[in-house]
Amino acid sequence: MVATITGTDLRRPLKKYFGYDSFRGKQEEIIQNLMSGRDGFVIMPTGAGKSLCYQLPALIQPGTALVVSPLIALMKNQVDQMHSFGVEAGFLNSSMSRSDYEAVKKKAVKGRLKLLYVAPETLCREDFLEFLRGVNISFVAIDEAHCISEWGHDFRPEYRRIRPMLNKLPRVPIIALTATATPKVQQDIIHNLQIEEASVFKTSFNRTNLYYEVRPKINPVPQVVKYIKQNPGKSGIVYCLSRKKVEELAELFVVNGIKAVPYHAGLDSETRSKHQDMFLSEEAQVVVATIAFGMGIDKPDVRFVIHFDVPKSIESYYQETGRAGRDGLEGVCVLFYQFSDVVKLEKFMKEKPLSEREAGKHLLYEMAAFAESGVCRRKQILHYFGEEFEDSRCGKMCDNCRHPRPFYDATQHVTLALRAVNETGGRFGMNYLVSVLRGSQSQQIKELGHDQLSIFGAAKDIDEKLWKSVFGQLLIHDFLAKDIHEYGVLKLAPKGLDYLSDPFTIQFVDSLSFEPTEKDAGMTPMAGGEDYKAYDKTLFDMLMKLRKETAQRHDLPPYIIFLETSIEDMATKYPTTLAEFENIVGVGKGKAEKFGRPFVELIAKYVEEQEVVKPVDFVVKTSGKNSQDKLFIIQQIDRRTPLEDIADLRDMSYEELLEKIEQIVYSGTKLNLKYQLREIMDDERIEELYDYFRSSGSDDLEAAIQKLGADFTKEEIQLARIQYYSENAI
């Protein structure tokens, strides 16, 4: 057993190596535990100083600390940091040359390294274990320990093999560390690493300096570009799901004068290292990245984290937003959300094993519920990690608290939901319970006899989305609890049992008001309160009137002239020349020439009379890649290439292709998609859809689906809408 070092002794090396006079939170207690030879399990949010909990004891104990880390970026960053302190440290991974790899191994065998970072894949090789037997290992630190659990946000099968491999080495203390772990994941980590006797250190997940906001994902690019340009010198990360989107956005940012670099696993290690260093040294203001970036990056002054796509779980979201404001100062976290992204992610999982697929689906739908909820974001996040947030609202540090949604009397819904859990024995998840309440005739419900329960069909007319909101709020307010052993299963909590025996009036937040439509794009405050789309309401009304008059002259629906989002953009950017007018959302050269002049003249007169200062800096330029895509799509449609084939040829999803086709058509280019329409519908059905768009006066897709969804698929409606617009645009 290693003798315990006093707090005074620990503060001396803390000051020497790290420059701090005192420890934060439970750091000192964690270090004392490790140096006394005991195993430890540390759950500490990003920015709270996890790394120091194993770095400091490594520096002051004899031997080499073995650090298991999942990412090359993390290893390099921390080794560079140790070198800056004058400490010998090294890493071993696939990015190294053979000579460099062998040089690090020799240093480790000679006892010259205080820390040796390795990937789990490396640790699991027999030849590597043989090498480790010749190294004096002081202890093993397992960073990002949530990777052990398939219910975690970044499951790595190799992490499951860490314990069996360590069993082949001399016994040393283990410290497992993570920033994100639900109670279920915590249990998985302890069980898999066989550290049941470990001291557990858990600090609050509450990052009080972070502002959380969820925005409808409608035309997000100009919003992001404008925000970044309005915050010069502030570092930020923009997360995307695909490498392709990372490259496209990074290129677009550069075209618009933003110093941005891409980062994803498809880049070679030299480029990744270069881009990471550019970000750390502030040669680049923004990194556009997949989730491969950010783990362990020691940059305390990241001021904003923007999710361009929905994360795969609340844990992922918390981990990634945690990169902001690690110095305790401003941190803005904005998520652009649309449910179709959730559906897309679900499709991506179809090749995975069934158990992994089901786990991923649960995590995804919890993320969707978080995004759509009207409850305080902070309260939801903390509850997810098993921590109680005493206040019902966090003040103005999330969008739902800054702009509260209305409450409604939920007494009846609460009673029915709790009875459903009680009468089915607390053995089912939310989707099944909702099916019972809505009277579903599914085989499972019949076989279990739940169609005979008193609550069966008791809420046939209540929207499924509302039920999901009710169950979510029952969890947050501790009327229900999740079964820790069976993921997704809901059980009655003591508070729920009390309510059933003594019910009372209860109000819940109306979460159904999150219904993104095109006219909502950019209307909510972004980034701590700035109103990006604070368009000129007076000018907007004047332009809408002109649009209506123009449409009447041509006997067309107004949206055929210009979309409402285009009118909003005009009332934001004040284009006073046709060249400027072409940069308005949904307006290309053709439309500018056909309809633009009276709109430009109206705006110019208004600007002069009202002495308006035009925000010319915020015209978003497009990248060459978009132009290439546009030309390719037009050429392929002219050749009558099936749309599925065009999507494959351009390495994009079918949904992404339809979005690009819409942008092309709405900007004034005519396309003929009749060949594709006739593959899926006859002329009579096509005409029926045309009749709808002629008479509706709106091209809103969600409204059309709601009206026609019983008889037509989303694809049929969307294609018909594009073709109708293309045929009728002048």
Residue 32: per-residue pLDDT = 92
Which burial class, exposed, middle or buried, applies to 350 when counting CB atoms under 10 A from its CB (0-12, 13-18, 19+)?
Answer: exposed
User: Of 569, 609, 566, which is closest to residue 591 (Cα–Cα)?
Assistant: 566
Measured between alpha carbons, how far is 263 from 72 in angstroms, rounded to an integer? 13
Q: Tell me the mean pLDDT in the region 441-469.
A: 85
Give how far Cα 676 sits from Cα of 643, 654, 668, 715, Å.
7, 13, 20, 11
Class of domain 210-339+369-402: alpha beta
Measured between alpha carbons, how far is 351 from 237 in angstroms, rounded to an integer? 30
Higher per-residue pLDDT: 345 or 46? 345
What is the widest separation between alpha-carbon atoms in the chain?
A: 90
Higher per-residue pLDDT: 626 or 676? 676
In CATH, the architecture of 7-202 is 3-Layer(aba) Sandwich (3.40)
Residue 485: per-residue pLDDT = 65
Residue 221: per-residue pLDDT = 86
Q: Where are the domains of the chain?
A: 7-202, 210-339+369-402, 407-509, 535-618, 624-728
Mean pLDDT, the chain, rounded, equals 82
Joined tokens for residue 529: 């309160």
Report the share of the chain in percent with pLDDT over 70. 90
Residue 276: per-residue pLDDT = 84
Inform me whether the pLDDT recorded for 159 exceeds 50: yes
Measured between alpha carbons, how far is 536 from 542 in angstroms, rounded to an integer? 10
Domain 535-618 has CATH 3.40.309.10: no
Residue 532 pLDDT class (50, 70, 90 cuts): very low
Q: Tell me the mean pLDDT in the region 640-652.
A: 83
Q: pLDDT for 106-131, tens place per residue?
A: 999 998 999 999 988 888 888 888 89
Residue 442: per-residue pLDDT = 86
User: Of 60, 31, 40, 57, which is closest to residue 173 (Cα–Cα)?
Assistant: 40
Is the Cβ–Cβ distance between 324 and 332 less than 8 Å?
yes
Is the Cβ–Cβ distance between 45 and 322 less than 8 Å?
yes
Is the Cβ–Cβ distance between 208 and 277 less than 8 Å?
no
Homologous superfamily (CATH) of 624-728 is ATP-dependent DNA helicase RecQ (1.10.10.1390)
Inform me whether the pLDDT recorded for 201 exceeds 70: yes
Q: Which range among 284-288, 394-398, 682-686, 704-708 has the greatest average pLDDT?
A: 284-288
* pTM for the whole structure: 0.64
Note whether 210-339+369-402 and 624-728 share their fold.
no
Residue 250 pLDDT class (50, 70, 90 cuts): very high
Report the share of the chain in percent with pLDDT over 90. 18
* DSSP three-state, residue 352: coil
Is the Cβ–Cβ distance between 176 and 195 less than 8 Å?
yes
Lowest-pLDDT range of 111-120, 447-456, 518-527, 538-547: 518-527
Domain 407-509 has CATH 3.40.50.300: no
